[in-house]
Structure 1
Amino acid sequence: MKKIITIAILFFSFISFAQIKVIETVPVEKLGRVNNNFYIQKIGNEYTVFYNTVQTGDEAPGIKKFTFKNVNDDYSSLYTIIVNGFAASPLYDIKLELPDNYVWLHYIANTDKTLVQFMVSNKDNATGANVSEPLSREQIEKLFQKG
């Protein structure tokens, strides 16, 4: 009987001192980057686009983000949608719906090249959209690691 009680005490003391657990993590991959203000990060099958705002709603300017999962190769689809917008005539804005955000791709025709800006608004928050700095087609290719 003493042996059983001793073993039980040792077992419970062993369990009570085991406070540290190893949790499985998914590696974070930094994909393309433009000017340290614009980059894409991948965690598992989830992509997050980080961008620096030039104009914002009620919030202070700074780094903002939008996230989406790569279901049905959405990462490549987003790249294709953006690049095809550069060739559209006339240029028009494209509105995308993501799980938590609406993203407008706003194209600007300059004299020497066409630029695109991301205008992101949260579905839950009715405040104005956050607007990214404009990017050229070459910068989009660098951001998405294409070309």
Structure 2
Amino acid sequence: MAFSQIKVLPTTPLEKLGRVGTNDVYIQKEGSQYTFFYKNIENKEDESIRNFSFKNVENDFENFYKIIIDGFNANPIYDIKLELPNDYVWLHYTKTTSKLGVQFMTTNKVTQSTGISQIMSVEDVKKLFEKI
């Protein structure tokens, strides 16, 4: 017995990496592609899940981590704007009562949709990238 309309396609397993909160921000890996998912806090009435992704070419995943961590040590503290294949990502650093944090602020190049993640501490970023 054969099914001429059904074809089994090879798949790449999805691997869920670090996360912050209850899926407020998390990373998913598929092959060499890393996708960052986050709850969009831009509109309190619609906390939809947004994402941005890039392939790990020339150690980009580790370089992204280093860029974020280095931003915490910059003096003066300033935002960092990154261009990814499909998105612009701003690393927005804020300091509140002696605590420093970073947010992802994104704009999709095609749809122009925007999003803002929750504020993450250095410890949150290390947890997200599985460094602790």
Fold match, TM over 0.5? yes
2:116 to 120, 126, 131: 131
CA displacement at 1:124 relative to structure 2 = 2.0
**CA–CA distance in 1 between the matches of 2:112 and 2:28?**
26
CA displacement at 1:20 relative to structure 2 = 2.9
**CA–CA distance in 2 between the matches of 1:62 and 1:20?**
34
**CA–CA distance in 2 between the matches of 1:136 and 1:76?**
18
Query: What SS is found at the alignment partner of 1:120?
Result: strand
1:1-147 to 2 correspondences below 5 Å: 17-35=3-21, 36-56=23-43, 60-126=46-112, 129-147=114-132
Aligned length: 130
| Structure ID, larger Rg | 1
**CA–CA distance in 1 between the matches of 2:32 and 2:20?**
22
CA RMSD of aligned residues (A): 1.7
CA displacement at 1:95 relative to structure 2 = 0.2
Calculate the TM-score normalised by the size of structure 2: 0.91
Answer 1 or 2: which has greater helix percent. 1
Which blocks of at least 5 consecutive residues in structure 2 are unaligned? none
